[in-house]
Amino acid sequence: MAVTGALLVGFVVQHMFANLQIFLGRGVYNDYAHFMQSLGKLLWVARLGLILIVVLHIWAAVRVSRLNDEARTYRYHKPRNYQVTTPWARYMLFSGVVIFLFIVYHILHFTAGVADPAVFNHWEVMVDGHWMPTPDTFDITKLPAGTEIRHDAYEMFILGLKKPTVGLFYIVANGALAMHLAHACSSMFHTLGLSYGKYRPFVALIGPGIGALLLFGNVLMPLAMLTGMVEVDAVGAVAAASGHH
């Protein structure tokens, strides 16, 4: 569980910083998304690998939970009086379930494009050496053969998170992720034998630190869309809330 958890933490941190490029503008974000799509089969190998790691992590969590139950012959007769543990440690199962549901929705939303096809189907067309966004009603099937097109991930991202129910769900899910990692990251170091002596107080801060970092970065994005800090006009041109273009 610790090893798969470490791999997943590395991914979510990288994923957050990659998505924060949304604040650098359409060109930067879509160039990154286009590069990832250009990896083709390698990208799908990475995706399937991540799914396998998630499955193994869930299996390990269930296995450890069962071993804990089997190790206690008698149940508690009184409610437990927690004195040392933290709230995020006590609700690991709850936060884990929320994260799992979020992963499923996130894949359907921004990877498969089936949760909200209208938001997913946005494109850019190469015109005179420049990528140009297309209007919502534009039919890319009518373009001349050989025309270069790419997915407008920038517009998809903004319009997807701008919907209140979706944006709020992303915020809640990332709150659960922060709670989960606040305990899991420090616990991971304990499990791997890397928390001892003078290093123990520092290791105890790693989990809450990583959780806070991811909470800030991941929640900043849906908040920016919900509050209008970043918007997209009718034809796809970026418009800041101040009105500058």
Q: What CATH number did the domain enclosing 219 receive?
A: 1.20.1300
Q: Residue 152, CB half-sphere, CA atoms under 13 Å: how many?
A: 28
Q: How far apart are CA 210 and CA 206, in angstroms?
A: 6
Cβ within 8 Å of residue 74, ≥6 positions away: none
Q: Is 77 a member of any domain?
A: no
Q: Is 81 a member of any domain?
A: no
Q: How far apart are CA 103 and CA 213, in angstroms?
A: 19
- The pLDDT assigned to 79 comes to 64
Q: How far apart are CA 134 and CA 73, in angstroms?
A: 65
Using alpha carbons, list the distances in angstroms from residue 148 to 27, 97, 113.
15, 41, 21
In the chain (245 residues long), the average pLDDT of successive 10-residue segments reads 92 97 94 95 95 95 83 67 63 89 95 92 91 84 88 95 96 95 85 74 86 96 94 50 38
Sign of the CA dihedral with 151 first, then 153, 155, and 156 last:
positive
- The pLDDT assigned to 1 comes to 87
Residue 76 main-chain phi, psi, to 5 deg: -70, 135
Please name the residue that has the structure tokens 């170091």.
189
Domain tally, the chain: 1
Q: Is 201 a member of any domain?
A: yes
Q: Which domain holds residue 54?
A: 2-71+88-240
Q: Residue 166, CB half-sphere, CA atoms under 13 Å: how many?
A: 20
Please provide the distance, in angstroms rounded to a whole number, between the alpha carbons at the two ends of the chain: 48
- The pLDDT assigned to 238 comes to 36
Are 98 and 175 in contact, with CB atoms under 8 Å apart? no
Within 13-154, strands assigned E span 123-127, 130-133, 149-151
Using alpha carbons, list the distances in angstroms from residue 102 to 14, 108, 160, 231.
18, 10, 14, 24
Q: How far apart are CA 166 and CA 87, in angstroms?
A: 26
- The pLDDT assigned to 245 comes to 37
Q: Is 80 a member of any domain?
A: no
Are 123 and 87 in contact, with CB atoms under 8 Å apart? no
Q: Is 188 a member of any domain?
A: yes
Q: Is 79 a member of any domain?
A: no
Q: Is 82 a member of any domain?
A: no
- The pLDDT assigned to 243 comes to 41
Helices (H), the chain: 2-19, 26-38, 41-71, 87-90, 92-106, 117-120, 153-162, 164-191, 200-226
Are 85 and 103 in contact, with CB atoms under 8 Å apart? no
Q: Is 142 a member of any domain?
A: yes
Beta bridge partners of 132: 125
- The pLDDT assigned to 27 comes to 93
